[in-house]
């Protein structure tokens, strides 16, 4: 039964009960989600909502900012406020430069957060991360600085970041930071980035 429920959720609608027919108006189309009808064993469909008011970059031509300070990180209302869940952003080609030598640094950033009132708008996050490509900073500064900028923007319930950097000077540097202990009940999968090891 759990498998069936999950499958129907993926299709966009979830119902339980003896009727066998979906709630009125539900066509099991993508773009619908379940809303619990209080006091009954039936989930009835409601349209998904997206509030894009105030977003200046999504759907527009937006140049890559010349620096992280110039980048505008934007937010949108959490469509599931009050629900404990985790969202993940992975930047597999994050690039910055060494502040001393000017040599390029490459790494993978994995950002996990539990939203409160706001979620991060992903295009603005992408542009913010791209703004580091000519920015001189140590690995620790880049990694923790990205996380703190997100925290300042959306004030999440919880956030963690893992910065997995390629070796520089013969030594890889991985950087980890979180706002505190993860909330009870939060599904927290492994970040999935292997510890660096030499070839062979």
* CA-to-CA dists, residue 168 to 32, 103, 146, 194, angstroms: 48, 9, 20, 17
Instruction: Return the domain boundaries, the chain.
Output: 2-47, 51-200
Per-residue confidence (pLDDT) for residue 91, from 0 to 100: 97
Residue 97 in 3-state DSSP? strand
The pLDDT tens digits for 95-135 are: 999 999 999 999 999 999 999 999 999 999 999 999 999 99
β-bridge partners, 43: 36
Q: How far apart are CA 116 and CA 163, in angstroms?
A: 23
Q: What is the pLDDT of residue 146?
A: 97
| Max Cα distance, the chain (Å) | 69
Residue 132 and residue 95 in contact, taking contact as beta carbons nearer than 8 Å? yes
pLDDT of residue 171: 87
pLDDT tens profile 44-97: 444 555 666 677 656 677 788 888 998 889 999 999 999 999 999 999 999 999
pLDDT at 62: 78
- Which position among 13, 45, 105, 112 bears the catalytic label? 105
- Find out whether 148 and 163 touch, Cβ atoms under 8 Å: no
**What is the pLDDT at residue 42?**
45
What CATH number is given for 51-200 in this structure?
Answer: 3.30.1130.10
What per-residue string of b and e applies to 96-108 under the rule 16 or more CB within 10 Å gives b?
A: bbeeeeeeebebb
The overall average pLDDT reported for the chain is 80
Tell me whether residue 98 is one of the annotated catalytic residues. yes
Residue 26 known to be catalytic? no
The alpha helices in the chain, defined as continuous H runs, are 2-11, 122-130, 139-154
The model carries a pTM of 0.73
Of 143-147, 155-159, 165-169, the poorest mean pLDDT is in 165-169
């Amino acid at each position: 039964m759990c498998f069936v429920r999950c499958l129907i959720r993926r299709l966009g609608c979830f119902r339980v009960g003896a009727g066998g027919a979906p709630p009125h108006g539900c066509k099991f189309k993508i773009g619908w989600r379940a809303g619990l009808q209080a006091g009954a064993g039936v989930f009835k469909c409601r349209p998904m909502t997206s509030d894009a008011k105030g977003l200046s970059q999504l759907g527009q031509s937006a140049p890559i900012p010349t620096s992280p300070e110039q980048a505008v990180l934007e937010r949108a209302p959490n469509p599931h406020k009050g629900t404990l869940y985790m969202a993940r952003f992975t930047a597999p080609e994050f690039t910055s430069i060494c502040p001393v030598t000017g040599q390029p640094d490459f790494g993978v950033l994995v950002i996990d957060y539990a939203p409160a009132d706001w979620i991060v708008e992903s295009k603005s996050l992408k542009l913010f991360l791209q703004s580091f490509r000519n920015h001189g900073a140590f690995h620790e500064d880049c990694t923790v600085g990205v996380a703190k900028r997100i925290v300042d923007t959306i004030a999440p319930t919880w956030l963690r970041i893992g910065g997995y950097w390629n070796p520089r000077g013969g030594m890889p540097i991985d950087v980890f930071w979180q706002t505190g202990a993860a909330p009870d009940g939060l599904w927290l999968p492994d970040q999935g980035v292997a510890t660096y090891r030499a070839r062979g």
